[in-house]
Amino acid sequence: MGEQRVKRAFKYRFYPTPEQARQLTETFGCVRKVYNMALEVRSRAWAEERRRIGYAETSAMLTAWKKEDECSYLSDVSSVPLQQTLRHLHSAFESFFTKCSGYPRFMSRKRSRSSAEYTRSAFRWRDGELILAKMRAPLDIRWSRPLPPEARPSTVTVSRDAAGRWFVSLLVEDQPQQRRQVAHAAAVGIDAGLHSLVTLSTGEKVPNPRLGRENSGRLARAQRELARKEKGSRNQAKARRKVARVHAQIADRRRDFLHKLSTRIVQEDQLVAIEDLPVSNLVCNRSLARSVADASWAELRRMLEYKCAWYGRELVVVDRYFPSSRMCSACGLVRDPLPLDVREWRCNGCGARHDRDHNAAQNLLAAGQAVSACGAGVRPQRNPSVRAVGDEAGNPVSRAVGAPGPGGDVKRRTPGRRSSSRPGSARCRAARG
C-alpha cells in the first residue's frame, strides 16, 4: 500500500535580502533575454529556411552569447535557469508543433511572470535550508505548511508576482496522503454553470466565489488612485503595485475556496463525473462574470484531475456533446435545446419537474457510472483530444439512446449491459418500481 509516489510542488512565500532581491531580479532579466533571443533565432530559422532548431543548438548558442561583449552580463547569474528557460522554450515549440498550443510568444518585463527555475545542481538543500547558486545566505522561507518528511526538492522555482511578492516552489516526491476509504458506490456528478459555480448531483449548489464588497471597494479605490497618477512616475508604479496586490488577494481567496471544494469532493466520493467543457472559449468572453466563472471552473477541473490521481479516485470526463442539460434524468427523454435563462423545466415524457443544473449533474453522474461499470477506465484527460473510444472488441462507441449531436459519448455499451448503460435508466426503474 502506498507504493505509488507522485511529484508535488509546495509553494511558499519568502523574503529576500536586498542583495538576493537584486540577484534574482537580474536573473529574471537574463532568463527573459535568453528566452527571447532563442525564440528569435528559432523563428527566423523556421521562417527563412524551414529549419527546426532544437534545444541542444540553442544551448550551444547560449555559450557563444555569453562570450559576446554586449551579453557578457549573462555570465553574472547562474547558468541553470538560463538553460531551463531554453528547455521551456523547446517544449513550447513541441506543443505548438503538436497543435496543443499557439506559437510561443516573447516574454515581456511587464506582462510575463518573472520566474527562474533551478535544478538540483544549482541549489543546496540542507537541514531544511535552501541556498541558491551564487548566493551565500539561505532564503528566508515562511514554511506555511510542512514539507513531507525526508523530502528533497528536485527542482526549485523562484518567482515574483505583479504585487511584488516572492514565492519559491519546491518540487518533491511524495506519497499521496492516506486515502480515506469511502463506500465504493460513493459517486458524484458535477455540472458547471454560471448561476452556481457547480451543482452536484446531490442537489447541492455551490455559488461562485464573489468579490466581497470590501474587496471591490478597495479595488475601485486603488484603481481610481492609479488613474490619477502621472504616467511613468514612481508614484504610478507604486499605485500599480497596490492594484496588483488587491487583485492578488482576490485570486488567492478564490484559489483557496476551490482547493477546499475540490478536496472535499475527492475525499467524499470514489467516482467523480464532470463535463468536458471547451476551455478555449475562455478568452473571447465579453462578460466578466462569465470569464471569472470559466476561469474558476477550469481551475477546479485541474485540481480535481490531480487530486483524483493522488487519492486513487476515478474521474470520468463526459463528452461535451452529451446532452446533459436537456435529457430527463428520470426517463431519458431528450428535449429541444433549452435557452440559457430557463432554470426549470418539465419533462414531456414523464412529467417530472427538473432544476436545470441538478438534472444535468444527475445525468453526468449516471453517464460516469455507466462508463465506470463498463470498465472504460476513462482517465483524467490531460489531452482533450484523447477520448475513450471503442469497446473491448475495438468497435466504435455506440451512442446513447436518443443522444443526438456530433461525436460519441464516452459511455460504452457492452452486451448484457444494454439497459444500464443508458443514463438515468437505473434510477428510472427504481422510481417506477
The least distance separating Zn ion from the CB of residue 428, rounded to whole angstroms, comes to 8
The least distance separating Zn ion from the CB of residue 335, rounded to whole angstroms, comes to 9
Q: Is 191 a catalytic residue?
A: yes
Does 428 bind Zn ion (CB under 5 A)? Our answer is no
Helices (H) and strands (E) in the chain, counts: 8, 14
The least distance separating Zn ion from the CB of residue 35, rounded to whole angstroms, comes to 56
Contacts by residues 284-287 (CB-CB < 8 Å, ≥ 24 positions apart) = none
Contact 320, 378 (CB under 8 A): no
- Give the C-alpha distances (Å, rounded to integers) separating 152 from 126, 139, 310, 374, 386: 9, 16, 19, 41, 34
SS3 category, 190? strand
Does 390 bind Zn ion (CB under 5 A)? Our answer is no
Q: Which of 349, 384, 396, 402 binds Zn ion (CB under 5 A)?
A: 349
Does 365 bind Zn ion (CB under 5 A)? Our answer is no
Q: Which of 172, 331, 366, 378 binds Zn ion (CB under 5 A)?
A: 331
Please tell me the distance from the alpha carbon of residue 125 to that of residue 151, in angstroms, as a whole number: 10
Does 54 bind Zn ion (CB under 5 A)? Our answer is no
Q: Which of 191, 269, 276, 314 is catalytic?
A: 191
Q: Which of 131, 350, 389, 401 binds Zn ion (CB under 5 A)?
A: 350
The helix or strand, by DSSP H or E, that contains position 228, with its residue range, turns out to be helix 213-228
Q: Which of 172, 261, 347, 361 binds Zn ion (CB under 5 A)?
A: 347
Q: Is 70 a catalytic residue?
A: no
* CB closer to Zn ion, 203 vs 312: 203
Please tell me the distance from the alpha carbon of residue 201 to that of residue 360, in angstroms, as a whole number: 8
Strands 271-275 and 187-192: parallel
The least distance separating Zn ion from the CB of residue 333, rounded to whole angstroms, comes to 5
Does 366 bind Zn ion (CB under 5 A)? Our answer is no
Please tell me the distance from the alpha carbon of residue 48 to that of residue 64, in angstroms, as a whole number: 22
* CB closer to Zn ion, 81 vs 423: 423
The least distance separating Zn ion from the CB of residue 372, rounded to whole angstroms, comes to 24
The least distance separating Zn ion from the CB of residue 298, rounded to whole angstroms, comes to 32
Segment interacting with Zn ion (CB under 5 A) among 33-41, 339-347, 371-379, 392-400: 339-347
How many other C-beta atoms lie within 10 A of the C-beta of residue 235? 12
SS3 category, 36? helix
* CB closer to Zn ion, 368 vs 424: 424
Q: Is 252 a catalytic residue?
A: no
Please tell me the distance from the alpha carbon of residue 402 to that of residue 331, in angstroms, as a whole number: 11
Does 401 bind Zn ion (CB under 5 A)? Our answer is no
β-sheet bridge partners, residue 118: 156
Does 328 bind Zn ion (CB under 5 A)? Our answer is yes
Q: Which of 275, 294, 314, 409 is catalytic?
A: 275
HSE, CB side, 13 Å, CA atoms: give it for residue 380. Answer: 18
* CB closer to Zn ion, 354 vs 412: 354
Does 360 bind Zn ion (CB under 5 A)? Our answer is no
* CB closer to Zn ion, 31 vs 347: 347
Does 330 bind Zn ion (CB under 5 A)? Our answer is yes
* CB closer to Zn ion, 87 vs 335: 335
Contact 86, 35 (CB under 8 A): yes
Whose CA is closest to 116, among 8, 25, 246? Answer: 25
Phi-psi region of 334 (alpha: psi -120 to 50; beta: other; left: phi over 0): beta
Alpha-carbon torsion, ordered 165, 171, 172, 175, to 10 deg: 90
Q: Which of 117, 305, 357, 409 is catalytic?
A: 357
* CB closer to Zn ion, 216 vs 348: 348
87: which 3 cell numbers? Answer: 528547455
Does 327 bind Zn ion (CB under 5 A)? Our answer is no
**Helices marked H in 231-321:** 234-268, 288-311
* Catalytic residue annotation: 191, 275, 357
Residues that bind Zn ion (CB under 5 A): 328, 330-331, 333, 347, 349-350, 352
